[in-house]
Structure 1
Amino acid sequence: MIKLFITDLDGTLLGMNHSLKQKDITAVQSLDEKGIDFGVASGRMDHEILEVLKKVEVGAHRVSQNGAFLYDRDDQHIHSQTFEGPLAKRILDVIEEEPLIKTVSTADSTYTAKHSKWIDLISEQLFHDIIVEPSLRDHVGTKIHASKISLNGTEHEITEAYERIHSSLQGDVDIFISHESCVDIMPKAINKGTGIQALLDTLDVNPEEIVCIGDSFNDLSMFELTPHSYAMSGAHPKVKEKANHVVDHVYEAIEDIEKKMKDECSTF
């Protein structure tokens, strides 16, 4: 019996320029009448997830910033984790020479040390402006409590940067390609999988009773939790390999689960 449906946002439920498909919205809204709870697991901040939920007109459990923050659908705080100051500064030192756009996220803000046209482009896909703070490194760990550190660039640049950073920081952080143009660095053992597991423990729900759908490498940790995992057809081939099903749209996953639940009921 499925009790919880969890979706990623960007590239899954959410398209470019914050677009949503009406069929996906309708399918998500129908979950409640099927007795299925709804959740979102995203690299975005919690306040951004809430903005999307306003458009969908539903409430949801929320795993934000790849598991750094966790709230239930009643807005009760379950979990949060940020970097220790010295480690955050070390990460900034390691990535200093990388020819990529670097940003530092806190619970509700995003910072960068230098403005560029790319910062403006990234800001357009967020629900808030990126703050330019030239003294960013000095403030990290004191005024700025980092929960996620990201690098943005071309797919080729991101792949190469991932290998270098992973080699330098392996064992101290969780690092993954969250989008073809972005690498996210997280505190150790903080990812969507651990965030969802904390939620399941709170709700007293088993991993076999949830469905997860996503499209990026940061979704693999939640795919590993459940046999009911769905990848978007536009995802990287290695991401699709790790999912048990592949669909074009979120509503197709919901329809598939509904069919399977009906088939189960008909056997009794």
Structure 2
Amino acid sequence: MIKLFISDLDGTLLGDEHYIKQEDIHSFQWLLNRNVELAIATGRMEHEITEILRRMKLKGHRISQNGAFIYGQNDMLLHSETFTKSSADHVLHNIQEYPMITTISTATDTYTSEYNEWIDIINEQLFHEIIVNPNMAHELGQSIQPSKFTLHGSEEDITHVHQQLVHQFGKTVDIFISHKNVIDIMPPSINKGNSILALLDHLNVKPDEIACIGDSFNDLSMFAVTPNSYAMSTAHPDVQANAHTVVNHVHEAVDDLAHRGLV
């Protein structure tokens, strides 16, 4: 039986302009009434997950920034991971050659070194404003403790640049496409899959006792943890191919679990 349901946010639970379907909220409430706990696993920041849970009037475990931070539903910090100064300097130095917008996230804030019109577009997708700091590079590892580097660009550029980055950095960092316009660069072994395994160890829950749903390449490590994985029908075909079942909405995944007698 399923004891934990894990959902991605953007493109999965969260639609345009931060819209959440009432049917999805009701499905989460239905799960909670059957003692199935909820978790959110996303590339977004901890305070953004907290705001989304507040809007749904629900409690849940939180995996933010692709696993850099893990919080239990009782607000206990279970894990945190940031780049060392030397590794952060190395990453920033090597990604500056790409003609894309670079942002750096810490536990609480997101920074960029200079303002342009794309920053306003990115801000519209966030629950907080990006801080423009011309001294960002010099403050890495000091006043800025980076947990995630993000490259923002056109969909056409993302796949090409992602391949170059993987070749360039190898296994020294974790790199994945978290959105059609976004590449995330994380400390090594920081991904949704490993963070879920850490959460399961804390909860004493087995991988076959969870279900998860997502829509992007940063969800593949999550899909690999459990046989009960769901991909959104809007996901890239390669993402869909790695999930057990493809659905149109989050609540359809919950309905499928019920139909299979797992909740």
The normalised TM-score by structure 2 is 0.99
AA paired with 1:191? N
SS at match of 1:49: helix
Matching residue of 1:50: 50
Q: Quote the offset at 1:92 in angstroms.
A: 0.6
**Pairwise CA distance, 1:58:** 0.4
Q: Which residue of structure 1 aligns with residue 32 of structure 2?
A: 32
Q: Secondary structure at the residue paired with 1:62? A: strand
1:141 alignment partner in structure 2: 141
Aligned to 2:247: 247
* 1:82 match: secondary structure: coil
User: 1:250: how far off?
Assistant: 0.2
Using the alignment, how far apart are the partners of 1:59 and 1:253 within structure 2? 19
In 1, distance between residues paired with 2:50 and 2:99?
33
2:65 and 2:134 map into 1 onto residues whose CA distance is 24
Counterpart Cα distance in 2 of 1:83 and 1:96: 17
Which residue pairs with 2:119 in the alignment? 119
Contact 1:192 1:222 in 2 (8 A): yes
Partner of 2:153: 153
Q: Which runs of 5+ in 2 are unaligned?
A: none
TM superposition shift of 1:246: 0.2
Please identify, of 109-118 and 160-169, the stretch whose mean Cα deviation from structure 2 is larger: 160-169
Give me the whole-angstrom Cα distance separating, in 2, the residues matched to 1:258 and 1:46: 30
> 2:86 matched to which residue of 1?
86
- CA distance in structure 1 between the partners assigned to 2:11 and 2:29 by the alignment: 19
User: What is the CA deviation profile of residues 92-118 of structure 1, one whole-angstrom value per residue up to 9, with x for unaligned ones?
Assistant: 111111010000000010000010111
Secondary structure of 2:39's partner?
Answer: strand
Say how many residue pairs are matched: 263
CA RMSD of aligned residues (A): 0.9
Give the superposition deviation at 1:241: 0.3
User: Which stretch has the larger CA shift, 34-43 or 226-235?
Assistant: 34-43
User: 1:258 corresponds to which residue?
Assistant: 258
Q: Does 1:173 align with 2:173?
A: yes
Give structure 1 stretches of 5+ with no counterpart.
Answer: none
Q: Which amino acid aligns with 1:196?
A: I
| Match of residue 64 from structure 2 | 64
> Equivalents in 1 of 2:35, 2:168: separation in Å?
46
Contact 1:94 1:165 in 2 (8 A): no
After the TM superposition, list the runs of 4 or more consecutive aligned residues in structure 1 that deviate by more than 2 angstroms.
Answer: none
TM-score of the aligned structures, taking structure 1 as reference length: 0.97
> 1:35 deviation in Å?
1.8
Deviates more, 1:71-80 or 1:24-33: 24-33
Q: Give the Cα separation in 1 of the matches to 2:167 and 2:115.
A: 28
Match for residue 184 of structure 1?
184
**What code does the residue aligned with 2:204 have?**
D
Distance 1:165 1:94 in 2: 9
CA contact (8 A) 1:104 1:149 kept: yes
Structure 1 Cα separation of the partners of residues 195 and 27 of structure 2: 24
Which residue is 1:235 aligned to?
235
Letter in 1 for 2:145: H
Q: Secondary structure at the match of 2:211?
A: strand
Which residue in the other structure is 2:197 paired with?
Answer: 197
Q: Give, in whole Å, the separation in 2 of the partners of 1:48 and 1:117.
A: 23
Over the matched positions of the two proteins, sequence identity in percent amounts to: 51
| Aligned position for 1:9 | 9
Displacement after TM superposition at 1:131 (Å): 0.2
1:21-75 deviations in Å (ceiling 9; x for gaps): 1111111111111221110000000100011001111000000000000001000
Q: Deviations over 1:231-268 (max 9, x none)?
A: 00000000000000000000000111112126x9xxxx
